[in-house]
Structure 1
């Protein structure tokens, strides 16, 4: 089956909000994420503001006329945000690395594919497309340590884990993209 990727740079993505919500539910309302459907609704509400962020980029993957996956990203603002999981990221990196490595970089916020599309390379294509024109190659993302599958996926795509929660710990980790100039400076786990 042929998959078409479509890039969006602003509010025109909102015409697909219902389909994006459905993909979000399929991707995140099952283990290991186990989110409830209200989180998918919250995602759509955030999306209305996110499409207006500087550097906003989204990519959808269409198979058989339906959206099978998507990725959203934007330029991380200064000062570094303090909502959602940002404080954990900043604490893990420290203020100097947070400012130098993340502010002004392309931040991937969501990457979701329907279960039927997993293992097909679709997520990799979406991630590459949403970060392809990252400023100076600087791209980053957060993910949870509760998904070893997600952690392994990002490593296989050449992303470098830059924060390291305690073994068996909970929380989020920062990954730097494969062309991020600070990749070699990221601390290795103990």
Structure 2
């Protein structure tokens, strides 16, 4: 498994294509591939420079990316852009401060179709959080297989303290 910090930008085009393959397939097939490509690449350029950024890449026998995970340490104050505002609404400020701020935040986890069912998703998650006492992630509430996967590998949903949103938050098993 390859470990990257900001140097992930050296393979940004390859990682972007892997991301597009994963996140324009079901249940995200409604996403436009070119818009997804541009948006991810733009985010990656900034995300790779965040404090605590880490990317792990697993390659298949032919050298192509088979799976990836990216993340960083969630800063204080907790952001409200992107989906963060929905997280804050769903969990409430107190839980966000207690569970998420200062924890390792899994931003993206993707396993390409050819590598699904091999345990790669679990290995990527375990490796990403191995050095962190706390970790968290979120996913879209319509990604049923993804939600089932996180539950199956022991990630837990904190109590909902506010209105339901279209995101589901998980914290790593303790």
- Does the TM-score normalized on the shorter chain lie above 0.5? yes
CA distance in 2, matches of 1:178, 1:6: 24
In structure 1, stretches of 5+ residues that fail to align are 180-190
Aligned to 1:99: 97
Q: Is the 8 A contact 2:68 2:124 kept in 1?
A: yes
Which of 31, 36, 40 is the matching residue for 1:43? Answer: 40
CA distance in 2, matches of 1:148, 1:13: 30
Deviations, residues 10-46 of structure 1 (Å, cap 9, x unaligned): 2211111111111111111122112222122211111
Instruction: Provide runs of 4+ in structure 1 moved above 4 Å.
Output: 163-166
Q: Tell me the TM-score normalized by structure 2.
A: 0.92
Aligned to 2:121: 123
CA distance in 2, matches of 1:165, 1:40: 34
CA distance in 2, matches of 1:163, 1:107: 18
Aligned to 1:56: 53
Does residue 155 (structure 1) correspond to residue 154 (structure 2)? The answer is: no
Q: Tell me the TM-score normalized by structure 1.
A: 0.85
Aligned to 1:32: 27
Aligned to 1:144: 140
In structure 2, stretches of 5+ residues that fail to align are none
Report the RMSD for the aligned CA atoms in angstroms: 1.7
CA distance in 2, matches of 1:105, 1:84: 18
Which of 1, 18, 35 is the matching residue for 1:23? Answer: 18
Does residue 173 (structure 1) correspond to residue 171 (structure 2)? The answer is: no
CA distance in 2, matches of 1:69, 1:165: 33
DSSP-derived class of the 2:55 partner = strand
Does residue 89 (structure 1) correspond to residue 87 (structure 2)? The answer is: yes
CA distance in 1, matches of 2:84, 2:105: 11
